[in-house]
Every structure is written in structure tokens, then in C-alpha cells.
A and B are shown apart, each in its own frame.
Chain A
């Protein structure tokens, strides 16, 4: 699981992009609420993945799958 919590914009998206270079079918990414949650979700969807966000305290676990 990638933990991108607390990183400034747009680093969570860059981390996710690097992770996805391995072209697997399933990833898990932890992000903060707000901009990172939206930005990583938007990026993953633009790459043809489906994203399910699960609230974990104030943070979100994104389940990113093909």
C-alpha cells in the first residue's frame, strides 16, 4: 500500500503515477481528505481505473482497480 498522506500538491499524484508504471490491476493508496483525495481519484480514473474510497479516520484508503 502506498501512503501518500501529508504530501503537498501534486506529490500524491506523482507517487501514484510512479506506482502505476508497473501496470498492475489493483493498487491501494492512502490519502488525506480534500484535494489529494480528489486529485488521485481523478488521475486513476483518467488512467482507466475504478476507484473506491474508504474513510479511515480523517484519511481515505483508495482501492484502485481495473
Chain B
């Protein structure tokens, strides 16, 4: 494979994604939130009535676009395939707690980059925790961690997430009475639907083709001295930073940053949980969305875990607000770190093979 082109492609894709993500915040999305997989899944959960927090209810077309974009790209390149069966419930739990961590910090790894690019220094604490969490995951990977392999499933299995996204889009357009739309707060701030959808489609296609992954950057650099994904991460940061500087969206500091709090310890611990859980999952929330569009049912289950996690966070007061973390949220993050570490131990040291019945002698 042409190594140089490989790296050039992910840098260009990262630059495009960074510009789009920063610019969306000027087209109506909340500040430093042109894209945020965690926030947008949370808003979508609210729009569908899975939680009742009035400021964060809106079916985000960006999410729909990412899944459909990834599906189209994978299909066109003959990479679409129905696969699954690699510890789906474990993945659900990892997705659930990854969301708990994201909503402690107030953003997924993608938004962490955008917050850094907006001058939000609280995100530096998030980044430190994130990298520490990735190292926790790497420890288990090096010692043989695996959720065991996926298998090819029936053809229809891989299409479900794409179908669900299409149905959700119909609900967004038709606006039936049971779909909630925030009238104030972050959920009420959004770009035009066509713009959001288009941005999601572009990001979905580019992320599918480049295998872009926010945890993959640090992970592959540490494990294999492989810089490709890190270049994508940095390209997004640089492009979003420049776009913010040009458009006037850069404000350096810690206090009164948009949709952020200043509790450094819990910003770090939240993202530690995210980094740790995502390494054990094999990819960040963005990558899980993309793989769900590629037909991976395990990633689809992970996305459901993220969505249910978001609903729990708002139904039980676990999510932080700009005023700071909640006591219940802190407890949930600690429980999450313990559970994720337990999953690491169980699937590294205590994974004695379950006997698989030999069905075909060949």
C-alpha cells in the first residue's frame, strides 16, 4: 500500500472534518459543538423521549448522516458486511459507561478536540485523563485482552442501524407530537437540517474511508509507533483552531467556556473512563457509529449502549452541567472505572475458552 498517500489522505480528511466541525458552530450548533457524538446521541435520545431533560432534546441529523455516509462508503467499496457476536452485552456496558464519562466531561473525544480548538483549557484536563485511560486499556491489550471474534451473520442483520437512522430522519422531518424539540438550551441550537445532514454525510464517508478514530491515534502510537490516526487527530485540531481564529470563535481560558465546567479532576476522570472503555471497545464513539453503518452489529449494540447511557445520565442526574459535576455523576464515573477495569481483567486473565460445538467437520 502507498504509505505516503495513506497519511496525506487522513491529513486532508482531518482538515476537512475540522473545518466543517468548527464552522457548524457558526451555522447554529452550540459553541465548540459543531460535532459531538455523545452530546448528539444524548440529544437524539431526548428527542425520542428516552429522557425528559427539556434543554437537550433534538434528533441530530449529523448522527444520521454519519451512519448513512459510512454505509454508502462501505457499500461502494464492498466493505459492508453483517458481522457480530463478539461479546455484545459487554460492549453494551462499555458503551453505557463511555457515555457516563462523556457526560461527566461534557463531550466525546471529538468534542474534546473542538473544545481545545476553541481555547477551552478545561479540555486539557480531559485530554490528560483521556490519554491516561488509553494507557489503562493498552495495558490489557498488551496482556492478551480480547472480546473474541465476530462472525458473519445473516445478511439483514447489518442493515438495522441504517434503517433505524432512516426512520429517525423521517420522525425529524414529520415532527409528530411525540417527538420532543428543545425550545431553549443546547438542544434548541442547531444548524439547518440539510446542512447538518450534509456535514454528517461528509464526515461519515471520510471517517469510513480513513478509519478515523480518536482513541486509535494515541493507542497505535504507543503500541506500534504508528502515526497515521494521530495525524488525523492533529489535523482536526489544527483545522478547527484556524477556523475558530478566522471566524472569531477562539476564547482562551477556563471560566465561562461554552457548555463546560471547571472541575479539572472530574473532567480528567470522566475522560479517563471514556479512553479506557473505548480502547476495550476497539474504537471511539465516532468509530462505533461508522462501524455500525458498515454492518457491524456489535458496534450497533455499542451505540445503543451509548444512547441508553445518555438517557440514564439525564434521568438520574449523572450528567454534569456548566455549574459542575453532580454527586451522583461522580459515583457513576467511579463505578464505571471499576466495571471497565473488571471487564479488562475478565477478558484478559479469566477468559478460558467456552467450548464451541464443532458443527462442520471441515
Measured CB to CB, the residues of A under 8 A from B are 5-11, 13-14, 17, 32-35, 38-39, 41-43, 45-46, 58
A33–B81 CB distance below 8 A: yes
Whole-angstrom distance between the alpha carbons of A8 and B296 in the complex?
11
B189 interfacial contact with A, CB 8 Å: no
Task: State whether the Cβ of B216 lies closer than 8 Å to any Cβ in chain A.
Answer: yes
Q: Enumerate chain A residues within 8 angstroms of B359, measured Cβ to Cβ.
A: none
Q: Can you pick out 12 interface pairs between chain A and chain B where the beta carbons lie within 8 Å of each other?
A: A5-B149, A6-B83, A6-B149, A6-B151, A7-B149, A14-B141, A17-B224, A33-B81, A35-B211, A39-B211, A42-B226, A58-B152
Among all A-B residue pairs, the 6 with the closest Cβ atoms = A6-B149, A8-B282, A6-B150, A9-B282, A35-B211, A34-B79
Task: Tell me the B3-17 residues at the A interface (CB within 8 Å).
Answer: 3, 6
B223 near A10 (CB under 8 angstroms)? yes
Contact mask B47-84 → A, CB, 8 Å, 1/0?
00000000000000000000000000010001101010
Is A10 a contact of B224 with CB atoms below 8 Å? yes
Quick one: which of A5, A14, A39, A41 contacts B142, CB cutoff 8 A? Answer: A14
B contact set with A: CB distance below 8 Å: 1, 3, 6, 74, 78-79, 81, 83, 86, 141-142, 145-152, 211, 213, 216, 219-220, 223-224, 226, 228, 281-283, 294
Q: Are A9 and B213 in contact (CB under 8 A)?
A: yes
Asked if residues A14 and B223 are in contact (CB atoms below 8 Å), the reply is yes
Q: Indicate which residue in B148, B228, B283 contacts A9 across the interface (CB closer than 8 Å).
A: B283
Q: Which of B145, B152, B226, B281 contacts A46 (CB 8 A)?
A: B226
Chain A interface, DSSP helix/strand/loop, else mixed:
helix
Q: When the two chains form the complex, which single residue of A11, A34, A41, A42 contacts B294, counting CB atoms closer than 8 Å?
A: A34
Question: Which residues of the other chain, A, contact B86 by a CB distance below 8 angstroms?
Answer: 6, 8
Q: Which residues of B contact A34 (CB under 8 A)?
A: 74, 79, 211, 294
Give complex CA distance A58, B211 in Å: 18
Query: Bound complex: CA of A14 vs CA of B139, how far in Å?
Result: 12
Chain B nearest Cβ from A53, distance in angstroms: 9
Query: Which of A10, A17, A43 is most buried by chain B, counting CB atoms within 10 A of its CB?
Result: A10
From residue A10, how far is it (CB to closest CB) to chain B in Å? 6
Give the complex CA separation of A41 and B3 in angstroms.
10
B284 to chain A, nearest CB (A): 11
Known A8-B281, A10-B223; further 9 A-B contacts with Cβ < 8 A: A6-B151, A10-B141, A11-B145, A11-B282, A14-B142, A38-B211, A42-B6, A42-B226, A58-B152
Kindly report which residue of chain B lies nearest to residue A51, judged by CB atoms.
Answer: B1
The residue in A6, A7, A33, A43 that gathers the most chain B C-beta atoms within 10 A of its C-beta is: A6
Query: Residues of A contacting B83 with CB < 8 Å?
Result: 6, 32
In the complex, which residues of chain A have a beta carbon less than 8 angstroms from the beta carbon of B79?
33-34
In whole angstroms, what is the CA distance A58 to B149 when docked?
A: 15
- List of A residues within 8 angstroms of B6 by Cβ: 38, 42
**Given A7-B146, A8-B281, A13 and B224 touching (CB < 8 A)?**
yes
Min CB–CB distance B90 → chain A (angstroms): 11
**Smallest CB–CB gap between A55 and chain B, Å?**
10
> Assuming A43-B226, A58-B81, is B219 touching A10 (CB within 8 A)?
yes
B139 CB → nearest A CB, Å: 13
What's the Cα separation between A7 and B141 when bound, in Å?
Answer: 12
B-side contacts of A42, CB under 8 Å: 1, 3, 6, 226, 228
Q: Which residue of A lies closest to B208 (CB)?
A: A34
Q: How far is the CA of A9 from the CA of B282 in the complex (A)?
A: 5
Given contact pairs A34-B294, A42-B228, A8 touches B78 in the complex (Cβ within 8 A): no
A39 proximity list for chain B (CB < 8 A) = 211
Neighbouring A residues of B148 by C-beta, 8 Å:
6
B1 / chain A contacts, CB cutoff of 8 Å: 38, 41-42, 45
Query: Which A-chain residue is minimally distant from B282 (CB atoms)?
Result: A8
Contacts of A46 in B (CB 8 A): 224, 226
CB contact under 8 A between A43 and B224, given known A33-B81, A34-B79: yes
Residues of chain A contacted by B145 (CB below 8 angstroms): 11
